[in-house]
Amino acid sequence: MSEGLLFVLIAQIPPQGIASFNAYEDQVLSLLAEHGGVLQRRPRSDDGGTEVHLVWFPSSAAFEAYRDDPRRAALAPLMVGSEAGLELFSMRDV
């Protein structure tokens, strides 16, 4: 999977938002494959307050289709309710 786009998402979730964050992720991550995305890794800290995703997409268009998926947008209140701080980085293998 060397071609395409590789992203790292780092989520910092406050304790009161972990359940909402997990509910969002459990539903939205199932949409990745429909857009050609692959969740390569999903480590989480023992306390559940930090989660990292390593996600690959075959193209910018596939990534944008995932981001614009109306089912994902419908789940946004769960993410907002989690009060998670998110950082998204576009990466490349070196």
> What local confidence, expressed as pLDDT, does residue 94 receive?
85
DSSP letter, residue 13: -
Which domain range does residue 75 map to? 5-91
Q: What is the CATH number of the domain that holds 75?
A: 3.30.70.100
Length of the chain: 94
Please, which residues have CB within 8 angstroms of residue 44's CB and are 6 or more apart in sequence? 50, 51, 52
Residues paired with 88 in a beta bridge? 9
- Tens of pLDDT along 36-61? 999 999 999 999 999 999 999 999 99
Q: What percent of the chain has pLDDT over 70?
A: 98
Averaged over 3-15, what is the pLDDT?
A: 96
Q: pTM of the entire structure?
A: 0.89
Q: How many domains does the chain have?
A: 1
